[in-house]
Amino acid sequence: MDTNGEITLAASDVTASGTRVDEKTVNEALREKTTTTAENEDTKNRMDANNFSSGAAAKGTSYSTNCPFKFTPAGSFGVNTPEEVAAYYDNWAGTYDEWTKYCGYNGPQYLTDLVKRYCRTTDLILIVGVGTGLEAQLLFDSGYRQMHGVDGSIEMLNRAKTKGHLLELIHEFLQPNARSSIESHRYDTMLCVGCFVPGGLDERHVDDLLRTLKPGGISIIGTRETFINDPGEAFNYPYSLESKLKQLEQAGAITLLDRVRKEHYGDNSVGVFFIHRVNHS
């Protein structure tokens, strides 16, 4: 870390856990993104629905209540491929922090409160779908220093990088029912908030996320209550995080420590957080 608190990485620094974010990879990804978005203007227009400097109306279903800026999850209007989803979040990165303030998104704060209850400040923590690093900032302010973040959006990671709270940033789009490049049994704690949404993560990613934890490690996953079970036809998201976790509990792979339901998770929606201990050896 340099004197400005920023993490400086060598351009050739690539780890077994995926590609570290450095100037070279950022620039390469930006070039790729420019091509992708130019080729897919329709996707870009729909993504603009989440950019509150744009008045573009979203297709699909919005579940916002009080928030004046509609958040429509990518997958609910057909943004589903890794390239489309990454571009959708790339497009949102510049206004994401402002959006969360306006819309009263409390996911990162609720997550931090739970981490303080269940995890030691010395834990090596993996933050999955770290985005712009809102939860990393809150955790840093609470004394956590050993944090890595993974995300499929280079622009989100670029924002997180400038804040300087993460020791390692991994640019990888996690695929369903697939093994990511993240090392097995490496982390004491795995955190994921706001990512189990249409177009993002779903029950098919859970095994891979838990694989990264040491035996006895702590997993905390939080999302809107709407998305812990199949929300029905309004959303293209036929997955059940909660059923998957229950299956793993019944198989003895994980132990439920707590299930916390929180009001005002984001613009008056309810959030649910699952806290588990992992038992695999």
Among positions 85, 169, 228, 272, the unique one binding ligand SAM when judged by CB under 6 A: 85
CA dist., res. 112 & res. 135, Å (int)? 7
Q: Is 118 left (phi over 0), alpha (psi -120 to 50) or beta?
A: alpha
Binding status of residue 49 toward ligand SAM by CB under 6 A: no
Of residues 111 and 248, the one with the C-beta less far from ligand SAM: 111
Which H helix or E strand runs over 265?
A: strand 254-266
The least distance separating ligand SAM from the CB of residue 133, rounded to whole angstroms, comes to 8
Amino acid at 43: T
The least distance separating ligand SAM from the CB of residue 99, rounded to whole angstroms, comes to 10
Among positions 147, 154, 193, 220, the unique one binding ligand SAM when judged by CB under 6 A: 193
The least distance separating ligand SAM from the CB of residue 41, rounded to whole angstroms, comes to 21
The least distance separating ligand SAM from the CB of residue 134, rounded to whole angstroms, comes to 4
Binding status of residue 89 toward ligand SAM by CB under 6 A: yes
Binding status of residue 200 toward ligand SAM by CB under 6 A: yes
Token code pair at residue 165: 């709270």
The least distance separating ligand SAM from the CB of residue 108, rounded to whole angstroms, comes to 5
Binding status of residue 195 toward ligand SAM by CB under 6 A: yes
Residue 253 DSSP symbol: S
Which H helix or E strand runs over 245?
A: helix 241-250
**Whose CA is closest to 59, among 81, 69, 74?**
74
How many residues of this chain bind ligand SAM (CB under 6 A)?
Answer: 20
Token code pair at residue 275: 């806290």
Could you write out the DSSP letters of every residue in 56-94?
Answer: PPPSS----SS-SS----GGGGT--SHHHHHHHHHHHHH
Interface with ligand SAM in residues 120-179 (CB under 6 A) = 129-131, 134-135, 151-153, 156, 173-174
Name the 3-class secondary structure at 266. strand
Of residues 249 and 260, the one with the C-beta less far from ligand SAM: 260
The least distance separating ligand SAM from the CB of residue 3, rounded to whole angstroms, comes to 27
What torsion do the CA atoms of 133, 258, 197, 88 make, to the nearest 10 degrees?
0
Residues in touch with ligand SAM (CB under 6 A): 85, 89, 107-108, 129-131, 134-135, 151-153, 156, 173-174, 193-195, 200-201
